[in-house]
Structure 1
Amino acid sequence: MRGLFNNILRSCGLLSAFLLVTVVAAVVQRDVNTQLITPATDQNLTWWQTAIFYQVYPRSFKDSNGDGVGDIQGIISELDYFVDLGVDCIWLSPVYKSPMRDFGYDISDYKDVDPIFGTLDDFRELIQEIHKRGLKFISDFVPGHVSSDHEWFRRSVKRDGKYTNYFVWSDGKLLDNGTRVPPNNWLSVFGGSAWSWNDERQQYYYHAFDPHQIEEEEDLKIDISHRPDTFRFWLDYGVDGFRIDAFSQLFENENTSLDEPLSGNNVPPTEYAYLNHVYTADQPDSLPILTSWKNVVDDYSKQDGKVRYLVVELYAPPNVRNKIYGVGAVPFNFDLISMGTHPTGRDIFSKVMDEYINLPSGKWPNFVLGNHDQKRLSYRYGAQYVNVFNILLLTLWGTPTTYYGEELGMLSANISWENTVDPQGLGAGPERYQLFTRDPSRTPMQWSNDFQAGFSTGNTTWLPLAENWATLNVKTENSSSQQTPYKLYRQLAHLRKNQAFQTGTFRAALVTDNIVSYLREGTLQRYLVIMNFGQETTDDYRNYGGPAATVVAITPGIV
């Protein structure tokens, strides 16, 4: 097998290709799936197929006014960072008007910017400045539920005319002892019952998430003039597309007398994973409404010839998420997030091949390594593996998405119960909050080793800084004489513009429990990508004696 691997290296050299190397295997075991993956494309790719997407969590990116909370003007002040880093599209988490109980995902006005982030004029300036730099911009869109502060819910509570049935209300059911309880056993994603009692209306209302995020009634969600009008509002501001939040929970079964079956998971009965969510997730009514939204976006593209992008969040296996492709949208692929904490090279490669093999004909893959709902990459897999996972993300065939700070190897902060603000963490209680809180991955961006990591001039920040901010930040990593996660990411982002990574073929070279390696071959160049996801000492191929090749990047895989 070592001979086979050396033959691959020689093949790359004879083609005068570049050699991209991270830590290389000392002991190889047996070759695995060497199926050739050829992107189904006529080479005329749209912008989102060639782009690197970068998620900005606005509260945490850059604070311009010293209040400790990131804002739109702060983002504007750092737009050149994206250009230098080599990313192509900014995905912005919600900045809509909100009471901020779930930090922007509980929306009270879909057509306004919350004052904590700025104004509509600031938003327009942001779009204009992004486009001036040749970048694209997509905005989070949160359908399905509204804030309890929304006018519609307040009027529904009062049974005010057409608003009476805008939400999912139920009398519940009476036990033999006269106690009134929710109509079924449905659970909130955040834990506990998905039903809360409203004293004024004397009924239960349904919420898939926090009790302040009220689920709309099905007919309102289907209303052809409801969400499309909101899409048009932001498209008129110049957004290049939308990321659809929590699509799996968009609809629930209308029969609220149905209990969901137990999942068999060994978790407390109040936790979401306790049930198999056959009535409250991935319901068939979701696809037609997604089609109507896609039609609105496509209408704008037909008018001005500019391609818009619609990407959908749902945590689902390929057979479920591939249905999204059928309406012309793109489903996020979270398989690389859902691997557990100690995946082997074979595990990782299997997830990659699952995406390629199960991809519908003519469709385009994508890969995501993190977001605002997940523990950071360094927490899940170890800080020493940040580099190799970023190499994986940026050299695979398919559109990559990076969460802010992952290019630095930012750590998940250790946040005490007293400093916890995430409703999902708070709902779990002080004994179990660390299992569910999302706060550790939402801490302020680490720009420098100056005051407050260069994030804010204020004395406090909305979340505390991660412990390593003074040594792990943009300024320090950029100026270091050593290879750093930031410098490696930037190299990879610019290397990715090469045709071999955009439309080149993909073939496994060697995969073991520790090693993942593959060839990306374009019209003129061939790249060998070798990554060690194990914990063993490995050979160093920098002194390999084969035909001449150019080493594009080498990293020891240590942050």
Structure 2
Amino acid sequence: MTAGRAWWKEAVVYQIYPQSFNDSDGDGVGDLQGIIERLDYVADLGVDVIWLNPVYQSPQADNGYDISDYRAIHEAYGTLDDWEELLAEIHDRDMRLVMDLVVNHTSDEHEWFQRSRRDEDGYRDYYIWREGDRDEDGNPVPPNNWTSGFGGSAWTYDEEVGEQYLHLFHEKQPDLNWENPEVRSDIYEMIEWWLEKGIDGFRMDVINLISKPEGLPDGDPDSGWVGIEHFADGPRTQEFFDEMAAETFDDYDSMTVGECVDIDVDTAGDYVSADGPLDMVFHFEHMQLDQQDGWWSIEDWSLPDLKAVMAEWQTDLDGWNTVYLGNHDQPRIVSRFGDDGDYREESAKLLATLLLTHQGTPFLFQGDEIGMTNCPWESFEEMRDADATNRVRLALESGDIEDYDEARDVVEFRSRDNARTPMQWDDSQNAGFTDGDPWIKVNPNYEDINVAAAEAREDGILSYYRDLIDLRSDLDVLVYGEYELLLPDHESVYAYRRTLDDPAVDVDDVLVVLNVSPAETSVCVPVDADASFLFGNELDGSDDATDHHEGTDLHLRPYEARLYELS
């Protein structure tokens, strides 16, 4: 099934969080020149695309996702000239650049919002303002019961305007009014401006929240995010996506991936089918396995649960997949899905195997390739995450918790700061990230877990990632092959088959077997074929590989991953 080939289907994406990647000027904040300094490292990993988190001008209330000027670079990161140099250097290394597109909301310091507050030149209608009622004490009552994704009401009263504005996230991130054609026109012009500069596409932040229903009806008060049934995939979402694509992306050989909140596989298919407006979407079903009861709980999940979600998106989606386990908004993958203690290396390699052998475009986050872990936070004051800190503040004010220690375990696991600690380059001070004071705590395990140490090991996590990325680029079956889940109910073994009906390829049938467990496991995989060892995180193609299997009867060591060619 090689029809419909595209460069972004065959690509591996490496996500860079600029604030924490590499600091070139000693101010404690990563920057564009710092990224340029490390581009050879990224290219040597074998990836094809860099996804760059927001570098636009921003007051940084939400780490750059509150944009005050879409056409300027945040001063801590450098200048537009630095950005243009970065783009050229990326392209010189045969890689591509995908930027973050944040157009559900802006910063409240954006010129559009400032003009909206002043009711200037028709800008009032660029955002969603409502009068609302007053309570018996004269205090503003929100126009509806919607809540912010960061906790609390989704409405903030503006004294100057005398009305309340909608913000589905931080109060400094007012939502744009996509019902206004002038808003859409300005957004499309901005997208075109960046595409003309030569970028290769966009990752589109919470893009399926842009359409809000007429009347802004109340949401289910028992929902974890009140109102989400109204503003996720709202009534005009498909129309807006189609229009945006026709006005911008369709004229370029670009890659578009939409981050879509609370989306199901059928709705996603409307967006990413062969004639759909987007190339692929990020969904969150597997990210929510451990928080079915909301942000404040950490729930147990089973491997069959994960397999079921992954398989549904592998087999039922009418379109192209993304494959990811972590990013700047999630805990570190080896701490969440693996074992960041005794089996950190083995489970990091296993998770790499899962990411790079499923059908879809794999997304890796900086530090995954060396097995970076969640950070051991010592105090609430060390955290910078606007989401986590806002939730704690509201919980303390409401009396839901008496002190931070009561919620410490949940907050420290959930905090987005886990993924945002500085990249660990070596064992020098501050992990080689900066000569200054880092903007956020460096994980203290950097002395052992760092790029320099990983580079020195031929059998380490970094080498494993490089070799597996090379293997994926060599085998069409790992990109375009069909997916068949095996042993769906097995509690510790994750097995699947990738097959490609193409006589032109040398390898058209691959078996992947993962022991997602700290215990040795014996299993019979239901495959009636001869198996030849291809790749693995323990055997690594050694001569004794055949000693570890007889047909489909396998004995697997803790967190062992194996790939077989079937014939």
Same fold per TM (> 0.5)? Answer: yes
Alignment of 1:446-525 (within 5 A): 446-458=424-436, 460-480=437-457, 483-497=459-473, 498-511=475-488, 512-521=490-499, 523-525=505-507
Q: Does 1:46 align with 2:29?
A: no
CA distance in 1: counterparts of 2:137 and 2:87, whole angstroms: 59
Structure 2 match to 1:57: 17
**Deviations 1:471-514 (Å, cap 9, x if unpaired)?**
11111122135x32222111111111122212234334545211
Alignment of 1:341-380 (within 5 A): 342-360=300-318, 363-380=319-336
Q: Post-superposition shift, 1:349?
A: 2.4
Question: Aligned AA for 2:193?
Answer: F
CA distance in 2: counterparts of 1:532 and 1:299, whole angstroms: 43
Greater mean alpha carbon deviation, residues 381-390 or residues 310-319: 381-390
Structure 2 match to 1:336: 286
**Identity level (%):** 33
Structure 2 match to 1:260: 219
Equivalent position to 1:74, from 20, 34, 42: 34
Q: 1:297 to 1:216 in 2, by over 3 A?
A: closer
Q: Secondary structure at the match of 2:445?
A: coil
Equivalent position to 1:412, from 351, 367, 374: 374
Equivalent position to 1:275, from 226, 234, 239: 226
Q: Post-superposition shift, 1:411?
A: 0.9
Q: Post-superposition shift, 1:192?
A: 0.4
Structure 2 match to 1:119: 79
Structure 2 match to 1:393: 355
Structure 2 match to 1:557: 559
Structure 2's unaligned 5+ residue stretches are: 291-298, 394-403, 539-557, 562-567
CA distance in 2: counterparts of 1:221 and 1:142, whole angstroms: 18
Question: Aligned AA for 1:290?
Answer: F
Equivalent position to 2:270, from 323, 331, 354: 323
Q: How many residues align?
A: 497
Does the 8 Å contact 2:213/2:234 carry over to 1? Answer: yes
Q: Secondary structure at the match of 1:407?
A: helix
Structure 1's unaligned 5+ residue stretches are: 1-39, 265-272, 302-306
Greater mean alpha carbon deviation, residues 532-541 or residues 438-447: 532-541
Q: Secondary structure at the match of 1:214?
A: coil
**Deviations 1:361-381 (Å, cap 9, x if unpaired)?**
xx2222111111111112322
**Deviations 1:401-458 (Å, cap 9, x if unpaired)?**
1111112111111332112222112211263444653112211011111221111121
Q: 1:505 to 1:285 in 2, by over 3 A?
A: closer
Question: Aligned AA for 2:307?
Answer: F
Q: Secondary structure at the match of 2:469?
A: helix
Structure 2 match to 1:270: none
Q: Structure 1 runs of 4+ off > 6 angstroms?
A: none
CA distance in 1: counterparts of 2:498 and 2:270, whole angstroms: 28
Structure 2 match to 1:423: 386
Structure 2 match to 1:289: 240
Larger RCO, structure (CA 8 Å, separation 6 or more): 1
Q: Secondary structure at the match of 1:255?
A: coil
Question: Aligned AA for 1:347?
Answer: D
Q: 1:334 to 1:402 in 2, by over 3 A?
A: farther
Structure 1 match to 2:541: none
CA distance in 2: counterparts of 1:557 and 1:435, whole angstroms: 22
Question: Aligned AA for 1:376?
Answer: R
Q: Post-superposition shift, 1:152?
A: 1.7
Does the 8 Å contact 2:176/2:183 carry over to 1? Answer: no
Q: 1:114 to 1:558 in 2, by over 3 A?
A: farther
CA distance in 2: counterparts of 1:232 and 1:67, whole angstroms: 33
CA distance in 1: counterparts of 2:201 and 2:414, whole angstroms: 30
Does the 8 Å contact 2:126/2:183 carry over to 1? Answer: no
**Deviations 1:327-379 (Å, cap 9, x if unpaired)?**
3312124443333265444223222220132111xx22221111111111123
Structure 2 match to 1:92: 52
CA distance in 2: counterparts of 1:453 and 1:519, whole angstroms: 40
What's the TM-score, normalizing by structure 2?
Answer: 0.82
Q: 1:274 to 1:114 in 2, by over 3 A?
A: closer
Does the 8 Å contact 2:331/2:414 carry over to 1? Answer: no
CA distance in 2: counterparts of 1:342 and 1:86, whole angstroms: 35
CA distance in 1: counterparts of 2:247 and 2:99, whole angstroms: 15
CA distance in 1: counterparts of 2:155 and 2:392, whole angstroms: 19
Question: Aligned AA for 2:516?
Answer: F
Q: Secondary structure at the match of 2:491?
A: coil
Does the 8 Å contact 1:297/1:308 carry over to 2? Answer: no
RMSD: 2.4
Q: 1:410 to 1:540 in 2, by over 3 A?
A: farther
Does the 8 Å contact 1:336/1:367 carry over to 2? Answer: no
Q: Does 1:314 align with 2:260?
A: yes
Q: Post-superposition shift, 1:276?
A: 5.0
Does the 8 Å contact 1:334/1:368 carry over to 2? Answer: no
Q: 1:294 to 1:372 in 2, by over 3 A?
A: same
CA distance in 2: counterparts of 1:89 and 1:175, whole angstroms: 53
